[in-house]
Amino acid sequence: MQKWPAEAIWEAVEPTLPGFTVETLAEIDSTNTELMRRARAGRAEPTLLVAERQSAGRGRLGRSWLGEPGDALTFSLGLPLAPVDWSGLSLAAGVAVAEALQGPPAPAAALRLGLKWPNDLWLWSGAQGRKLAGILVETATAAGAEAAAMRYAVIGVGINVRPHPAAGLSTPPAALQEVLPGIDAPAALLRVAAPLVMAVLGFAATGFGPFQARFDALDILRDRAVRLSDGTTGTAHGVGEDGALLVHTAAGMQAVTSAEVSVRPAP
Ligand code: BTN
């Protein structure tokens, strides 16, 4: 097992989130699946679950998430939440992770770490982008929750840390070491864990509103030609107060909210 900074993370988070625990595992099917299983079985404690290897890692839209031990950081944060409005939670999580991973300011032409709506982290240089990390948010009914609006939210994060061969992919994925040379998975976890918890708690209190400008500052699609998965093309105009992607199309401004929509820079 790698040496994980569990205690430092616990010390940073527990005063704000009583009952919080950090758990590290050598292997599991998926950290998201495990926390969802626990929530359905009535275990709804705030937990950060890190796995060095996932045998069945999952991505958005039913895709799988592959990552080799050491090459990727894979973890999930699970906690009971009762926000007034759930829209934008995954974007707020992306903002927190991207801000926490930003390295020292780079020269204008160099790599830029940004967000590709809804919540993928990309490294972008010139007109080219490569995916660095992905986030998968799921929720389960929180057994025994006092508030009816409360659910157990699971925020899963997968970050490519070390460059690795891109089997079957046309574009090799980006790696965190390209922007933070020498960083390893435990050091990456130490950077992102507490800021992610604080952002999620902040989101529960305020909703997406305060994250809108922060998303804007990281938005790599803004003012770019985009193509939606239904074939519609247009120009991305940032996100609305609820995290919807605003796309100016031939039929006018369209607010894209569905998780089934994928957005690609148009050729
Ligand atoms: C995506 O890019 O589509 C989202 C990828 C999310 C992957 C992470 S790895 C930790 C957690 N456990 C999973 O099975 N998935 C998320």
- One domain for residues 192 and 226: no
The reply to whether 259 and 176 lie within a common domain is: no
Closest ligand 1 atom, residue 57 Cα = 14
Q: Are residues 168 and 260 in the same domain?
A: no
Q: Using alpha carbons, select from 108, 135, 253, 123 the residue that is nearest to residue 199.
A: 135
pTM: predicted TM-score of the whole model, two decimal places: 0.94
pLDDT confidence tier of residue 169, bands split at 50, 70 and 90: low
- pLDDT for res 202: 98
Confidence (pLDDT) at 259? 56
In a domain, residue 212? The reply is: yes
For the ranges 63-72, 105-114, 124-133, the lowest mean pLDDT is seen at 105-114
Mean per-residue pLDDT for 104-125? Answer: 83
Distances, alpha carbon 168 to alpha carbons 72, 105, 124, 173, 231, in Å: 18, 33, 21, 11, 24
| 214 falls within a domain | yes
How large is the average pLDDT for residues 165-173? 70
Tell me whether the omega of the peptide bond preceding residue 118 falls within 30 degrees of 0, making it cis.
yes
What is the per-residue burial (b if ≥16 Cβ within 10 Å, else e) of 144-174? eeeeeebbbbbbbbbbbbbebeeeeeeeebb
How many other CB atoms sit within 10 Å of the CB of residue 107? 6
Q: Is 78 inside a domain boundary?
A: yes
For residue 201, what are the CA distances in angstroms to 46, 59, 87, 266? 11, 23, 14, 36
**Please, which pLDDT band fits residue 149 given cuts at 50, 70 and 90?**
confident
Both 125 and 247 in one domain: the answer is no
Q: Which atom of ligand 1 is nearest to the CA of 31?
A: 12
Question: Please, which pLDDT band fits residue 19 given cuts at 50, 70 and 90?
Answer: very high
- Pocket-testing residue among 23, 28, 29, 32, ligand 1, by greatest number of atoms within 8 A of Cβ: 32
For residue range 173-189, list pLDDT tens digits in order: 899 999 999 999 999 99
Of 179, 203, 219, the residue at which a domain comes to its end is 219
Examine the domain organization and report whether 84 and 113 are in the same domain: yes
Query: How far apart (Å, rounded) are the C-alpha atoms in residues 90 and 12?
Result: 22
Q: Which two three-digit tokens encode residue 194?
A: 């507490």
Residue 20 pLDDT exceeds 90: yes
**147 pLDDT exceeds 90?**
no
The pLDDT score that the predictor gives to residue 173 is: 87
Ligand 1 atom, smallest distance to 72 CA = 9
Same domain for 122 and 36: yes
Mutate to test the pocket of ligand 1, among 37, 74, 77, 155 (most ligand atoms within 8 A of CB): 74
For residue 108, being part of any structural domain is answered with: yes
Task: Give the percent of the chain with pLDDT over 70.
Answer: 90
Tell me, what's the pLDDT at 166?
A: 65
pLDDT in tens, 31-44: 999 999 999 999 99
Number of domains in the chain: 2
Say how many Å lie between the CA of residue 126 and the centre of ligand 1.
27
Whether 229 and 214 share a structural domain = no
- Domain with 256 in it: what CATH number? 2.30.30.100
Query: Ligand 1 centroid vs 249 CA: distance in angstroms?
Result: 31
Structure tokens at 214: 């922060």
Note down the domain range covering 76: 6-219
Closest CA to 155 of 115, 193, 103, 99: 193
**Confidence at 128, pLDDT banded by 50, 70, 90:** confident
Name residues whose C-beta falls within 8 Å of residue 165's C-beta, 6 or more positions apart in sequence: 172
In a domain, 1, yes or no: no
Asked if residue 120 lies in contact with residue 134, where contact means CB atoms within 8 angstroms, the answer is yes
Question: How far is the C-alpha of 81 from the C-alpha of 24, rounded, in Å?
Answer: 23
pLDDT recorded at residue 66: 83
Q: How confident is the model at residue 108 (pLDDT cuts 50, 70, 90)?
A: low
Q: What is the pLDDT of residues 205-264, one digit of tens each?
A: 999 999 999 999 999 999 988 888 888 889 999 999 999 999 999 999 999 987 556 666
76, part of any domain: yes
Q: Which residue(s) pair with 249 in the sheet?
A: 234, 252
- For the record, the structure tokens of 24 come out as 């590290």
> Is there a single domain that holds both residue 131 and residue 86?
yes
Q: Which residue has the higher pLDDT, 264 or 123?
A: 123
Same domain? For 180 and 109 the reply is: yes
Give every CB contact of residue 67 below 8 A, 6+ residues apart in sequence: 53, 54, 57, 74, 158, 160
Mean pLDDT of the chain: 91
Residue with tokens 């992607």: 245
Higher pLDDT, 55 or 127: 55
- Looking at the structure, do residues 111 and 186 belong to the same domain, yes or no? yes
Give the residue from 111, 109, 134 showing the smallest Cα distance to 123: 111
In CATH, what number is assigned to the domain containing residue 153? 3.30.930.10
41 and 146 both lie in a single domain: yes
> Ligand 1 within 6 A of 31 CB?
yes
Tell me, yes or no, whether 257 and 177 share the same domain. Answer: no
* Mean pLDDT, residues 162-182: 82
